Chains A and B, each alone.
Chain A
């Protein structure tokens, strides 16, 4: 995401998930499923807008994201609003946790498969195309994976903060790494550590887990500035 200069897309997609979460809470089905459906819709809209106008991606994402936020506020019932925005790790059931792990692994292997092609396309679309890579197709798979990832993440850290979980560990890893291997492995490890420490703090302080996780990962980021390479 960072290499694509699309860091804010992850952030925006979190907000796009909000109306879906609202509907899910209203009608009592799984929040992640609601989020995922709306994420698909959001991605589809951004894609259509991109074809129809020559506005930059950020502007389009911006439009979709504030619109969904507004709709989300209208739909989500007030008592649940805070949960939708900030997430609630204590509401994650055991079955849901297992399902999350399975989906995460799936996403992990999909991303791993398209990773070299995406990196090449990030460097230069022409170069990728000259190697016979179908950039549009890979991009679509990539966006789908992100949507799935965000849908899983909103349950834990909420729609406001899920973007941070996508961006911060990667930004930290980038500060610390000198090659791709360190970069991807570093993002992974830092993401896990942030969640672990954040959850631990939640157990101790009983403050909401989502913000604690994000604060922890931001702390890692600040530390990384000292060791920047």
Chain B
């Protein structure tokens, strides 16, 4: 049990009579980056929500005692309808102004953004704010649901670099839902291929083309680019 952050055993989730997740078992150790892969409708978001305790489930989900979790949801379509400054968004979480400042600095945003209206941020800035929001109040674990939807490649790079930096600095454990295989190869320590049940659970290196075809159906090839 050393440094075990999360233990999931025989997890089953059923929504409106439909089986979404079946017999999931996996473990996450401190400092790991677990990426969760799978086609649309595979139950990735449902898994995160079950882990957060938002959805009812059967089976065991065991977090390390008194752990703090930060959550970055897939989309927040309504937030731009509300006139709200960045500062006020953080205040919703009871984060002090000083801490907000520190968090914003650590995610590479300047103080000027404090008074800015959320609706006026670029999607890259907004995504950074979401990461910062999840990071404030010092969680040990971050749960990310496709954090890069709708962000250009440059923006994605910088967010992942940011995550990598934060992970090193704070020894964060990260659970990440993504479609982006290059991230998996670059960033993950473990990956979980999911399509209602676990299809593979391995290190990224063992994630072969064959397994990916099995997961997504059809032929998928991933060419690992080497820049070094």
Task: Establish whether residues B71 and A130, one from each chain, have CB atoms under 8 Å apart when the complex forms.
Answer: yes
**Cβ-defined contact, B85 with A126, below 8 A:** no
Q: Which residues of A contact B71 (CB under 8 A)?
A: 126-127, 130
Which of A91-99, A115-123, A148-156, A203-211 interfaces with chain B? A115-123
Contact of A178 among B76, B92, B94, B117 (CB under 8 A): B117
Distance, CA A124 to CA B49, complexed state (A): 13
A73 interface residue, CB < 8 Å from B? no
Which residues of B93-112 have CB atoms within 8 Å of chain A's CB atoms?
Answer: 93-94
CB pair A120–B76 under 8 Å, yes or no, is: no
Contact of B91 among A3, A116, A122, A124 (CB under 8 A): A116
B65 at the interface (CB under 8 A from A): no
Q: Are A127 and B73 in contact (CB under 8 A)?
A: yes
User: Which chain B residues numbered 41 to 88 have a C-beta less than 8 Å away from chain A?
Assistant: 49, 52-54, 69, 71, 73, 76, 78-79, 81-85, 87-88
A177 close to B (CB within 8 Å) = yes
Q: Taking the nearest CB of chain B, how far is it from the CB of A77, in angstroms?
A: 43
| Nearest CB on B from A114, distance (A) | 12
Decide: A122 near B54, CB < 8 A? Known: A131-B93, A174-B83, A180-B83.
no
Expressed in whole angstroms, the minimum distance between the Cβ of A208 and any Cβ of chain B is 33
CB proximity to A under 8 Å, residues B101-147:
115, 117
- Please give the distance in Å from A170's CB to the nearest CB on chain B: 11
> Interface range on chain A: under 10, 10 to 19, 20 to 34, or 35 or more?
20 to 34
**Which residue of the partner chain, among A5, A130, A179, contacts B84 with CB atoms under 8 Å?**
A179
- Interface of A, helix, strand, loop or mixed by DSSP: helix
- B49 pairs with A126, CB closer than 8 A: yes
Selected contact of B73 from candidates A5, A126, A174, CB within 8 Å:
A126
Q: With A120-B92, A126-B49 as given contacts, are A180 and B78 in contact (CB-CB < 8 Å)?
A: no
Q: Nearest CB to that of A132 among chain B residues?
A: B53
> Do A127 and B78 form a contact, CB below 8 Å, given A116-B92, A181-B88?
no
**Given known A-B contacts A124-B73, A127-B73, A131-B93, A119 and B54 have beta carbons under 8 A apart:** no
A183 within 8 A of B: yes
Interface assignment of A136: CB less than 8 Å from any CB of chain B: no
A80 close to chain B: CB less than 8 A: no
B94, closest chain A residue (CB):
A116
Are the CB atoms of A119 and B92 closer together than 8 Å? Answer: yes
Closest to A54 in B: B16
Contact status B84-A180, CB under 8 Å? yes
Contact of B54 among A123, A130, A181 (CB under 8 A): A130
A162, chain B: closest CB distance, angstroms = 24
A179 → chain B closest CB, angstroms: 4
Asked if A180 contacts B54 (CB within 8 A), the reply is no
The residues of A with any CB-CB pair to B shorter than 8 Å are: 3, 5, 116, 119-120, 122-124, 126-127, 129-131, 174, 177-183
B contacts, CB < 8 Å to A: 49, 52-54, 69, 71, 73, 76, 78-79, 81-85, 87-88, 91-94, 115, 117
Q: 10 A-B contacts, Cβ less than 8 Å apart?
A: A3-B82, A119-B84, A120-B92, A126-B73, A129-B52, A130-B54, A174-B83, A179-B84, A183-B82, A183-B83
